[in-house]
Amino acid sequence: MSVVCGDRMIVGGTPASRSASSVRRSDSGASSRSRPGGALRRSKSPPRRAQGGGIARVDDRAVLAAIVYVTQAVCSWWKLPTPLFGVSRATAHRRFAEWTRDSLWDRMHQAVLDRLGAAGGIDWPRAVVDSISVRAEKGGDLTGPSPVDRGKPGSKIHVLCDRTGLPLTVLTSAANTHDSQLLLPLLDAVAPVRGRRGRPRHRPDKLHADKAYDQPALRQQSPPGASGSASPERMWSRPPGWAATAGSSSPACPG
């Protein structure tokens, strides 16, 4: 039994013939599948998009310039002039926190010291040690009642530098810590610095300090690694009028 239905002829309920156009489409598909790699050549996958996307990372040099501005101007992050550096306040603060966790500042300081030491730019014969108290309104582990600020929370920054003012090491303590307690830790914290020749050096020949460091316990011992020709009295020297001339050029040390 055959039934004509449009352009199809059904024989026994099964399609016996199809239109020429459908046959041509079927034959073309079969031919493409029969050829090895025919379907792959016809349909190419779209190129993969590079991972990441979003906004490009701000240049590290621009962020470093913004951080240096904040530290030198002693201002908050919200007062950073973003149009001047092209860096947002959030980006500068976030990058500062990342670099601090990675100890970037310590590595940069050591690299500067090594370069200056190799060029003979560090004055090792004489060094100066002193401290400064700063406020710490938000508190922290290295804070304490400041004796010079009516007992308010504060910290003390201890610095050891060469005669030209180049910082060799910096330590932080609570504001109520006596200066003399951080003298030997400061000397121990100086990392070895490469020089023009010989072994790396990390000890000055002579120290200048104010009256706070003039303690008998310190005068009785020489710092570890000090020059053998320097006696304890010559190592811990306090020139006359040092406290009165703080911040200006100190008098020459005897001998």
Burial class (CB in 10 A: 0-12, 13-18, 19+), 175: buried
Whether residue 89 lies inside any domain: the answer is no
Q: Angle between the 89-101 and 60-73 helix axes, to the nearest 10 degrees? A: 90
Q: How many domains does the chain have?
A: 1
Start-to-end C-alpha separation, the chain: 130
Residue range of the domain that includes 203: 124-237
Whether residue 136 lies inside any domain: the answer is yes
For residue 39 the two structure tokens come to 């379907």
Return d(Cα 131, Cα 176) in angstroms, integer. 12
Whether residue 210 lies inside any domain: the answer is yes
Whether residue 53 lies inside any domain: the answer is no
Whether residue 204 lies inside any domain: the answer is yes
**pLDDT confidence of 114, banded at 50, 70, 90?**
very high
pLDDT in tens, 30-44: 444 445 445 445 445
Whether residue 200 lies inside any domain: the answer is yes
Whether residue 133 lies inside any domain: the answer is yes
pLDDT value at position 45? 56
Q: What is the chain's alpha carbon radius of gyration, rounded to the nearest angstrom?
A: 38
Of all residues in the chain, the percent with pLDDT exceeding 90 is 25
The residue assigned the tokens 């004509």 is 4
Which residues 6+ apart lie within 8 Å of 198 measured at CB? none
**pLDDT confidence of 68, banded at 50, 70, 90?**
very high
pLDDT in tens, 2-27: 444 555 544 455 444 444 444 444 44
pLDDT in tens, 160-188: 999 888 999 999 999 888 888 888 888 88
Whether residue 152 lies inside any domain: the answer is yes
